[in-house]
Amino acid sequence: MDKNHYVAIMAGGIGSRFWPMSRASYPKQFLDILHTGKTLIQATYDRFARFIPAENIFIVTSEEYAHIVAEQIPALKKENILCEPSRKNTAPCIAYISYKLNLLNPNGSLICAPADHLILDETGFNKVCLEAMNFVQKHKALITLGIKPTYPNTGYGYIQFDQHPASENVYKVKTFTEKPNTELAKTFMQSGEFLWNAGIFVWQIKNIIQAFEKYLPEMAEVFESEKALFNTEREKEAITRIYPQCTNISIDYGIMEKADNVYIIPSSFGWSDLGTWNSAYENMERDYLGNAAAGDHVMVIDATRCMVHAPNTKLVVLQGLDDFIVVDTKDVLLICKKDKEQEIKEYVAEVKRNKGDKFL
């Protein structure tokens, strides 16, 4: 393992599309969505711990989730849990870890990855990450990992890349397209020039800081003005002052779509962003009628292509439904057609309007 290699696992989201399992107080990254025996953040930590020194793994999360991170990953040092005072999307999150690590090791390289993605081929994933680390050590490059599309998904961002490699399996990025319609997604897929944007980034720390200075100068200035307090007892105080001054913006919009030194590695390591119940269904074991069940006492009778998620202590008997999502928790039962899953966010908003925050 290389002591100059670092990871920032981003774990501050609330996962509202996985409601009612995912709640504001206990979101999806801390749940065993796929019924594997590990929560998503535990699986992510273990994946990186195979090739990154444990002391170089950091988790950036909301203050309210710090105790959950500590409970679920006892091997993680307390000082490696970085707490954001508010949700401001991925750019401030990445700025925070980058300015902090730059003081500890200006020669470091950093992987930034979400806490809640599924990766089936962990050996292949490790290989691609190390290829990316090797490339950014030699080039002033910002790398994003791209996934070879398997179908015209309209929920993912797409990245077009130059067909001539800059290095073995590394290509210059040409364009970013956010969530195209079905026809455009089909065109992208047929062209062979587009990959899904996995939202996993690799770069040298000093180079991403230079990118912040060039493309998000106001944000860079705020972090720069407080950096002397990073890695001291007054770090939290500094971050509390910094975050209200930061724009709510993603690293994709803020930097990656503007920079001229962005590269991509086409990858196939069994990736899913697990953004919806349908994506969970696609990655769960299914019976001969296409039903996927998570829960020790789920019985399915004369039903097809349903996804059922229930507590291990509860008996759920499902009869006669076709293509439904059924999620049962201690205080909420959701029964929803699978093709309406994108509207779950709207249902959550409706619940908030009618019932307040009690069930969120």
Q: What is the DSSP string of 112-125?
A: EEESS-EES-HHHH
Q: And the tokens for 50?
A: 């195979």
- Distance (Å, rounded) from C-alpha 305 to C-alpha 275? 19
Q: What is the pLDDT of residue 336?
A: 94
Asked whether the beta carbons of 98 and 212 are under 8 A apart, the reply is yes
Asked whether the beta carbons of 200 and 44 are under 8 A apart, the reply is no
Task: Find the helix or strand (DSSP H, E) in which 165 lies.
Answer: none
Q: How far is CA 34 from CA 114, 294, 343, in A?
A: 17, 7, 21
For 125, residues 6+ apart whose C-beta sits below 8 A from its C-beta are 47, 119, 267, 269, 271
Secondary structure class of 16 (helix, strand, coil) = helix
Q: What is the pLDDT of residue 101?
A: 96
- Distance (Å, rounded) from C-alpha 70 to C-alpha 72? 6
Q: And the tokens for 179?
A: 């969530």
For 159, residues 6+ apart whose C-beta sits below 8 A from its C-beta are 144, 146, 173, 175, 176, 177, 194, 195, 196, 197, 264
Phi, psi of 315, rounded to the nearest 5 degrees: -85, 125
The CATH architecture assigned to 5-272 reads Alpha-Beta Complex (3.90)
- Distance (Å, rounded) from C-alpha 203 to C-alpha 133? 7
Phi, psi of 271, rounded to the nearest 5 degrees: -95, 140
Please state the domain extents for the chain: 5-272, 277-355
Asked whether the beta carbons of 326 and 318 are under 8 A apart, the reply is yes
Rounded average pLDDT per 10-residue block, the chain, 360 residues: 93 86 91 90 96 96 95 94 94 96 94 94 93 93 92 85 87 88 84 89 96 96 94 94 95 93 92 86 92 93 94 93 95 93 88 91
- Distance (Å, rounded) from C-alpha 47 to C-alpha 34? 16
Bridge-based pairing state of the strands 292-294 and 271-272: unpaired
Q: How far is CA 181 from the centre of its chain?
A: 22
Q: What is the pLDDT of residue 169?
A: 87
Burial class (CB in 10 A: 0-12, 13-18, 19+), 6: buried
Amino acid at 49: A
Q: How far is CA 225 from the centre of its chain?
A: 29
Q: What is the pLDDT of residue 91?
A: 95
Find the length of the chain.
Answer: 360
- Distance (Å, rounded) from C-alpha 121 to C-alpha 332? 34
- Distance (Å, rounded) from C-alpha 265 to C-alpha 172? 9
Q: What is the pLDDT of residue 240?
A: 95
